Amino acid sequence: MLLAVDAGNTQTVIGLFEAPGGSTELVDHWRVATNAERTGDELALLIQEFLGFHGYSFDDDVSGIAISSGVPRVTAALREMAERYFGFAPVLLEPGIRTGMPILYDNPREVGADRIANAVGALDLHEPPIIVVDFGTATTFDAISDKGEYLGGAILPGIEISMDALFSRAARLPRVELREPRNVIGRTTVESIQSGAIYGYSSMVDGLVRRMEVELGACTVLATGGLAGVIGPLCGTIQHVEPWLTLHGLRIVFERNQP
């Protein structure tokens, strides 16, 4: 089995695939809070519990690990876990790894590993040009040319960060559940905040995608990330929601780096 781990600033997503050459479908997936204080031993215990749900174990069933991480301390802990408990080094998506995709960023080392994994996964699933919108701690937009090249994109504060800033700066505004309200014109303070957050953010996404399409031409537009299922369906420009796109890209990168 292959473990694919995407460690973001807020959440870590873990996916389990069949061994390379087997089915490309996820066997299972789990989402946990990212905690930079966790040691490699604690991560091993956590992942072993997840594997145990299917009757799998470190020793007998896991033959590879692929990792993308934007948190250096978590990266180090995951590397330590792999080497100690699995007995081999993980494939870490970092500069020098084979992705099969030309990176046309001015400084390719600046591109987040999750953004590259998203682009690789998107190009495997859909015809370019492609725009990938990842709703995470930050919301990122990544553009792939009609030649399959990673061009760059845009980064802005994620919807939860934006709402946290609103609540911390406006003393009388309550924290609300992030869900679609009954109407665009809110009849209560809660609905007004939900309308601004949900419809305002989705309109912003549509506006930025359309500006990118002026440069790229007509694109296939994908949404991924923890909030893709909430915001994606309300965006007129988003055509596909791929919640596990990063894990899919990691699986492909892993296979491209095998002997």
Burial of 144 (0-12, 13-18, 19+ CB in 10 A): buried
| CB-neighbour burial class of residue 245 (10 A; exposed 0-12, middle 13-18, buried 19+) | buried
Strands 91-92 and 64-69: parallel
142 is catalytic: no
Out of 59, 106, 114, 146, the active site residue is: 114
- Return d(Cα 244, Cα 242) in angstroms, integer: 6
17: tokens are 């695939």
* Cα 8 from Cα 20, distance rounded (Å): 25
Q: How far apart are the first and last CA of the chain?
A: 17
Residue 103 in contact with residue 43, Cβ under 8 Å?
no
Question: Mind telling me the catalytic residues?
Answer: 114
